[in-house]
Amino acid sequence: MIGSGWSQTGLWLAVLASGLYHGINPAMGWPLAVSNGLMQKRARALLGALAFLAAGHVLAMFAVILPFAVLAVVLTWQRQIQIGAALLVIGFGIFLLIRKRHPRLLARIPPARLALWSFAVAIAHGAGLMLVPIYLGLCRAYAMDRGHQAAQTLIGANLGMALLVACVHAAAMLAAGGTLAWLVYRYLGLRFVSRSWFNLDAVWAVSLIVVGGVSLAVNATATGGAS
């Protein structure tokens, strides 16, 4: 069991919720899928664009989580790794609040390269960072259940869990973003996006800070309970 009510079910719901949030955020690319469908006048073009966007997002999530998956094997330093990850997430959220401009590198990637664009955007926005504290919580619960297994088995399980977390998150993003893209393409039109949408960048930055803060609080509670 993870302290302060952080059950595995709650952690998986957090993975899904962050994926849904990324899905509705236009910055993650669903308007590009709408544009692709409208230019080619085919629903297949929209669906194909969504697939590339999802692929890039999965790769970005896995690339960010992978180093922590390897580090989590060092059980002696697990608490320090979790605290360091939480501070990293908080710091990046503060950075996004202060620096509101998007990296110029993103503008140099042709829109046709949707998977590469999606990968770069997810990295630049810190999309994978939000999953790191959640993922480390999942790993900790997993390790507590099977704490006496060999280190090699734990490594394999952590890498598998990292990929699973990335895929579940991206599937939720694809479902939310794909639904919005289809509604705009088929029924609402591009005017809906220009008139009815709002900027989610500040909300995203605050979300990173909140997730990092909650992770720190959970670790502090667990440390206090252990002592």
Q: Whole-prediction pTM value?
A: 0.74
**Residues of the chain with confidence (pLDDT) below 50:** 1-5, 142-155
Sequence letter at residue 152: Q
Give the per-residue pLDDT at 105: 57
Instruction: Give, rounded to a whole angstrom, the gap between the first and last alpha carbons of the chain.
Output: 17
- In the predicted model, what is the mean pLDDT of the chain? 76
Give the per-residue pLDDT at 150: 42
Give the per-residue pLDDT at 154: 43
How far is 100 from 96, CA to CA, in rounded Å? 6
Burial (Cβ within 10 Å: 0-12, 13-18, ≥19) of residue 74: exposed
Residue with tokens 């180093």: 67
CA–chain centroid gap for 21, Å, is: 9
How far is 10 from 216, CA to CA, in rounded Å? 17
